Structure 1
């Protein structure tokens, strides 16, 4: 993966906007979690749920403070997966599914496959897949019923304009970021829904405690 792809202004901008929006949600929920966690602790019950709330709040703070570290870890994770593409069949299937689903190739572009010993474009590479990409990078023809597993051969030896006809040239990270932007409301709704379920669970637990104490008091 080249430094040019990783430090591209468009990708960095998308990541920053995503992290900012994600942390707004975390901070909003974190304040509520803090109050509910303290309440649960003072009631001598639901301590475990209170701890979970504190951990979620801590995760949100750490995600904001160490966002650059998280981005670096994602960078290395994707690189390692591309390098090990032929070494693990499960990993291979996961990468193929991701590239087909997001209609992308590599982390930030098709040239990321130079990291793999079978697909790199070096002169010493004797593989038939040299300077190519996996079949999951290929654009799909709806009329084809059988997958052509050799469709990515020599794809990156062509000019970029011609590559766009044969393979996906956008990276999976930018495609995923675009999906998050397009579905930000859904993503936020899922997190808020999970938080509400947790709050509802604590309320039920506290009501149960109150009922038990009322029964004991009547003895």
Structure 2
């Protein structure tokens, strides 16, 4: 049954679904280009983080939310609308819990971040997307490694052991280098053998600060902007939850004014609610022939003491 409840901002729900599908398509395309779709075991072989996971997970969640919200609103499906609000509420509380835990256990989070970055340093050459992500982070935050350049000793291509035949031995990636604004061509060999020098000599050529410390400094310098973005995302989620719940309430309120009549529905107006006997006559076609016969023998209306009449009246009152 369609109750024709006005839908507020369906364009936003449709946009959410389209963006989610786009993110998911980009992630699947990237995996296809790397041959992951033909070799699923490659997902677990990589020691570090595959950035494509971000597109797939975010795109998948946005697609599911967009579909449930859009179809639920357009078709007035209360189940999909409740699923949308519950799923969105779960995401909101997970984000809130993560923020609280990150604030309370700052030292533990810092240690885990160091461990996470070092694991990705080990897998630097194993995945091109991971390599590009690390290079971007080191260039953007002017850092090198988790705690410093020596973290690159964890990578088999950059470690300083005598058994390492790599030309990059005792070096760092070019993204650790201090860029010369006058250079038009990027020198990808600027980090070769740099860790053989003293730290004081390294400072003019590469960034010697770790990415964890630089990231913390960036958060402090941009705290208002970051907080504003997070609050904005939270408000959008709360708005979506309230909108879905409000729509569910509207649908239920409109459905409460409709009653079944045979194979269709009849709208109850004020006159029906004021005259319960008139409400009972609407049900005559669906009560059954036995009940109709019993009600019609009284002449003036249904017998209030009739068992069938009491059952039907009770169902209306509930």
1:159 aligns with 2:198: yes
Deviation at 1:117, TM superposition (A): 1.9
Map of 1:73 onto structure 2: 112
For residues 123 and 103 of structure 2, the distance between their equivalents in structure 1, rounded to whole angstroms, comes to: 30
Deviation at 1:125, TM superposition (A): 2.6
Map of 2:153 onto structure 1: 114
Map of 1:91 onto structure 2: 130
Specify the SS of the correspondent of 2:226: helix
What does the per-residue CA deviation read over 1:88-128, in whole Å, with 9 as the maximum and x for residues that have no partner?
22222211111111111111111111111221222333322
Map of 2:142 onto structure 1: 103
User: Which has the greater radius of gyration?
Assistant: 2
1:149 aligns with 2:188: yes
The 8 Å contact of residues 143 and 210 in structure 2, kept in 1 or not, is answered as yes
Instruction: Point out the structure with the larger helix share.
Output: 1
Map of 1:133 onto structure 2: 172
Map of 1:187 onto structure 2: 226
What does the per-residue CA deviation read over 1:134-183, in whole Å, with 9 as the maximum and x for residues that have no partner?
11111111111111111111111222222111111111111111110001
Q: 1:214 to 1:161 in 2, by over 3 A?
A: same
For residues 125 and 213 of structure 1, the distance between their equivalents in structure 2, rounded to whole angstroms, comes to: 71
The 8 Å contact of residues 118 and 145 in structure 2, kept in 1 or not, is answered as no
Q: How many residues end up aligned between the 2 structures? A: 176
For residues 102 and 57 of structure 1, the distance between their equivalents in structure 2, rounded to whole angstroms, comes to: 26
How big is the alpha-carbon RMSD for the aligned residues of Structure 1 and Structure 2?
A: 2.5
Gaps spanning 5+ residues in structure 1: where? 1-44
For residues 125 and 171 of structure 1, the distance between their equivalents in structure 2, rounded to whole angstroms, comes to: 24
Q: 1:55 to 1:147 in 2, by over 3 A?
A: closer
Q: 1:142 to 1:64 in 2, by over 3 A?
A: closer
For residues 149 and 209 of structure 2, the distance between their equivalents in structure 1, rounded to whole angstroms, comes to: 7
Gaps spanning 5+ residues in structure 2: where? 1-81, 258-266, 268-318
Q: TM-score, normalised by structure 2?
A: 0.49
Higher relative contact order (CA 8 A, sep 6+): 1
After TM superposition, the structure 1 stretch with the greater mean CA deviation from structure 2, 132-141 or 90-99, is: 90-99
